[in-house]
């Protein structure tokens, strides 16, 4: 049997195949950052993935940055997510929640009243965000977190991990790339602190490592994953030595017993992040970016990783696993509906006809 369809294990999670759905923000939550009925349907349709990593979700209202993105900090959100996880589990699937604190990648229009915008240092990201009320707007200059406030943010992540479990998720993934809060601590241009969370590399990786430790203590490390993309400059972050940062992270997580490490590759000259992670991480490795069936199969055959995650292929192919299994053609997604509200271009992509007919 093709390696992609063989079961595997990520810590405490048993995967029935190695075709993982990568996290994707799709902006279908409601105004209260609550998961909607469309989200229940969308994730249920994709339950045949070996593991679904649900979209970036705020651990507190302060962590919101984009419009119509969900949270996991209120009892209502926990109940609404429960409908998603129940639907995926009924389909025999596994689902973890990606925890995404946007930090300085935020604007007032996309947050509730009273929510703050915080980051390691009071330096705005040079980028704009889409808002439903005012179109594209510049990001806010964040408040620099005090040491006590950093402790409170870590506590928010810990509580969010517990909330995710209460909502029925099999685990959580820490989003530590794409210029969000953990990456803002790791990158030099967004972190100019002079305390234990800034300056040396050891200090700059302290925040993500402490978050992982707190979440692991709360729900068990075997249910906690980490996503990185060394050198990714998205949302205005600059790391002058992504190799050193990756190695410091690997050194920090190796004894933790995490469920998995999810590595997305960026276009960084002379940095083979997959190979470095494979050599330096003893747990389950999940790799991502630009894979198709053939290249994913090759990667697994070569022993490059335990599993491969796919994002864009899952958008228009809810039955991606079946299409891979039967060599069926893949449908193409519509860019215009990637982040639009409602069901169109979200949970209305059909399964392949021949699969439906049992051919
Ligand atoms: C619409 C869209 C939304 C995304 N949202 C997230 C997200 O919330 N969290 C994250 O870590 N990556 C996010 N990504 C990145 C994907 O998880 C993935 O790394 C990227 O698309 C490359 O994988 P692919 O070639 O299989 O599409 C997003 C990508 C797309 C296309």
The 10 Å CB-count burial string (b at 16+, else e) for 314-339 is: bbebbbbbbbbbeebeebebeeebeb
3-state secondary structure of 190: coil
| Centroid of ligand 1 to alpha carbon of 107 (angstroms) | 21
Ligand 1 atom closest to residue 338's alpha carbon, by position in its atom list: 1
pTM here? 0.98
From CA 111, how far away is CA 61, in angstroms rounded?
7
CATH number of 3-356: 3.20.20.70
- Write the residue with the smallest CA distance to atom 30 of ligand 1: 24
pLDDT of residue 357: 53
pLDDT of residue 1: 73
Q: Which residues contact 185 (CB under 8 A, 6 or more apart)?
A: 120, 191, 197, 198, 204, 205, 206, 207, 208
For the chain (359 residues), the mean pLDDT of every run of 10, in chain order, is 94 98 98 97 98 98 98 98 98 98 97 97 98 97 98 98 99 98 98 98 98 98 98 96 97 97 94 97 97 98 98 98 97 98 97 65
Ligand 1 atom closest to residue 288's alpha carbon, by position in its atom list: 23
Our answer on whether the CB atom of 56 is closer than 6 Å to any ligand 1 atom is yes
Our answer on whether the CB atom of 290 is closer than 6 Å to any ligand 1 atom is yes
Which is catalytic among the residues 42, 180, 260, 349?
A: 180
Tokens of 314: 């899952």
From CA 310, how far away is CA 316, in angstroms rounded?
12
Tokens of 274: 């997959």
Q: How far apart are the first and last CA of the chain?
A: 19
Please report where in the chains the tokens 């602190």 appear, as a residue. 193
Rounded to whole angstroms, the maximal C-alpha distance in the chain is 64
| Centroid of ligand 1 to alpha carbon of 337 (angstroms) | 15
From CA 310, how far away is CA 20, in angstroms rounded?
6
Q: What are phi and psi of 33, to 5 degrees?
A: 60, 35
pLDDT of residue 359: 46
From CA 241, how far away is CA 63, in angstroms rounded?
27
- Write the residue with the smallest CA distance to atom 22 of ligand 1: 289
Active site residue 180: yes
| Centroid of ligand 1 to alpha carbon of 63 (angstroms) | 18
From CA 297, how far away is CA 317, in angstroms rounded?
18
Best mutation site among 18, 19, 21, 24 for ligand 1, i.e. most ligand atoms within 8 A of its Cβ? 24
From CA 59, how far away is CA 112, in angstroms rounded?
14
- Write the residue with the smallest CA distance to atom 13 of ligand 1: 24
- Write the residue with the smallest CA distance to atom 21 of ligand 1: 311
Cβ count near 202 (within 10 Å): 12
Q: How far is CA 264 from CA 155, 228, 230, in A?
A: 27, 6, 8
Q: Enumerate the domain spans of the chain.
A: 3-356
Tokens of 219: 């729900």
């Amino acid at each position: 049997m093709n390696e992609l369809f063989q079961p595997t294990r990520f810590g405490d999670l048993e995967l029935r195949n190695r075709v993982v759905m990568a996290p994707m923000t799709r902006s279908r939550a409601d105004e209260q950052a609550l998961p909607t009925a469309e989200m229940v349907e969308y994730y249920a349709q994709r339950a045949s993935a070996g593991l679904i990593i649900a979209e970036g979700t705020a651990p507190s209202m302060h962590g919101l940055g984009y419009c119509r993105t969900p949270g996991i900090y209120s009892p209502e959100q926990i109940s609404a997510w429960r409908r998603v996880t129940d639907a995926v589990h009924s389909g025999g699937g596994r689902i973890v929640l990606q925890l995404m604190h946007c930090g300085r990648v935020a604007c007032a229009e996309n947050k509730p009243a009273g929510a703050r915008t915080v980051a390691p240092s009071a330096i705005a990201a040079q980028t704009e965000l889409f808002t439903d009320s005012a179109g594209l707007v510049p990001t806010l200059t964040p408040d620099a977190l005090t040491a006590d406030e950093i402790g409170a943010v870590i506590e928010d992540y810990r509580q969010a991990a517990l909330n995710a479990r209460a909502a029925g998720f099999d685990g959580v993934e820490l989003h530590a790339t794409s210029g969000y809060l953990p990456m803002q601590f790791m990158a030099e241009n967004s972190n100019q602190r002079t305390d234990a969370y800034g300056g040396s590399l050891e200090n700059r990786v302290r925040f993500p490592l402490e978050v992982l430790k707190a979440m692991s203590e709360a729900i068990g490390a075997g249910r906690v994953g980490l996503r990185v993309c060394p050198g990714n400059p998205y949302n205005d972050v600059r790391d002058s030595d992504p190799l050193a940062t990756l190695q410091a992270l690997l050194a920090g997580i190796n004894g933790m017993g995490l469920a998995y490490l999810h590595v997305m590759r960026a276009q960084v000259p002379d940095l083979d992040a997959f190979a470095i992670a494979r050599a330096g991480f003893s747990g389950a490795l999940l790799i991502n970016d630009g894979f198709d069936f053939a290249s994913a199969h090759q990667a697994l055959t070569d022993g490059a990783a335990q599993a491969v995650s796919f994002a864009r292929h899952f958008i228009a192919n809810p039955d991606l696993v079946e299409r891979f299994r039967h060599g069926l053609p893949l449908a193409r997604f519509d860019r215009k509906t990637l982040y639009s509200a409602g069901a169109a271009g979200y949970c209305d992509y059909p399964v392949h006809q021949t699969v439906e007919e049992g051919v």
